[in-house]
């Protein structure tokens, strides 16, 4: 089934999504939605997809960070971001708790705002209390890039986009990022644009 991505400006991306009951989670409709979201995320490709990003205002997101996504990235890039593979999973009705004051700034992009990227400051460690696709309660401890993915997707469920949190001086086209900045440490990029 073809999926369209609502773009920035559409209300589904700006309104808080509603929670699901356990009965709804286990329903064939929501189980089919989850399968569609995983397929859509894989085809994009992406590391996370929230239901509002495909026009469905529910507190549901799917997440995966495949080892294959990291194969061509330099080890320094992976180390700087504290990035490692994350198995596919579902978060429903999540509650995000920041674990500690440490934060990091890195570039983010979004399927809801294609062709652009910007630096966003996020917590380095988080805990997420949520339900899984079987309506079971789960607690997720995450740090580094995985923590960033969770924060980005949970923001979508609250009607928030990365551009609401970005360092505005860093906003650019994806093309400019790939051509000029992708191989530079983020700290050096921030110095280059005069961000102290």
Q: 5-23, pLDDT tens digit by residue?
A: 899 999 999 999 999 999 9
Q: Please report the pLDDT score of residue 25 as a whole number.
A: 98
Say if residue 38's pLDDT is above 90: yes
Beta bridge partners of 151: none
Task: Indicate the domain borders of the chain.
Answer: 11-192
Rounded Cα gap, residues 165 and 104, in angstroms: 13
| Strands, E assignment, the chain | 48-50, 60-65, 86-98, 103-108, 116-123, 125-131, 137-143, 172-173
Predicted confidence band at 102 (pLDDT cuts at 50, 70, 90)? very high
Q: Which residues of 90-106 are buried (b: 16+ CB within 10 A; e: fewer)?
A: bbbbbebeeeeeeebbb
The string of pLDDT tens digits covering residues 64-79 is 999 888 888 888 888 8
Q: Is the pLDDT of residue 86 over 70?
A: yes
User: Once rounded to an integer, what is the mean pLDDT over residues 119-133?
Assistant: 98
Q: Is the pLDDT of residue 1 over 60?
A: no
Instruction: Spot the catalytic one: 23, 80, 153, 178.
Output: 153
User: What is the pLDDT at residue 70?
Assistant: 87
Which pLDDT does position 2 carry in this prediction? 59
| 103 flagged as catalytic | no
- Per-residue pLDDT of 128-174, as tens digits, reads 999 999 999 999 999 999 999 999 999 999 999 999 999 999 999 99
Would you say 91 and 63 are in contact if contact means Cβ atoms under 8 Å apart?
Answer: yes
pTM beyond cutoff 0.85: yes
CATH superfamily assigned to domain 11-192: Peptide deformylase (3.90.45.10)
Q: What is the pLDDT of residue 78?
A: 87
Identify whether 45 is preceded by a cis peptide bond (ω within 30 of 0). yes
Mean pLDDT of the chain: 95
SS3 170: helix
pLDDT score, position 156? 98
CA 35 to CA 27: how far, in whole Å?
Answer: 13
């Amino acid at each position: 089934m073809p999926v369209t991505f609502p773009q920035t400006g559409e209300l589904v991306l700006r309104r808080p999504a509603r929670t699901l009951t356990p009965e709804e989670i286990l329903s064939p409709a929501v189980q089919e939605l989850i399968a569609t979201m995983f397929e859509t995320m894989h085809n994009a490709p992406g590391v996370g997809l929230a239901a509002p990003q495909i026009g469905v205002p529910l507190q549901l997101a799917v997440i995966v960070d495949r080892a294959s996504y990291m194969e061509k990235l330099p080890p320094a890039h992976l180390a700087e971001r504290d990035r490692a593979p994350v198995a596919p999973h579902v978060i429903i009705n999540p509650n995000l708790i920041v674990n500690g004051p440490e934060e990091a700034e890195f570039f983010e992009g979004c399927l809801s705002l294609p062709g652009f990227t910007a630096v966003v400051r996020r917590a380095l460690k988080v805990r997420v209390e949520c339900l899984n696709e079987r309506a079971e309660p789960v607690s997720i401890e995450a740090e580094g890039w995985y923590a960033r993915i969770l924060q980005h997707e949970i923001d979508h469920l609250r009607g928030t986009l990365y551009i609401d949190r970005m360092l505005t001086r860093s906003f650019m086209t994806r093309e400019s990022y790939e051509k000029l900045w992708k191989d530079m440490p983020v700290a050096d990029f921030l110095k280059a644009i005069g961000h102290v």
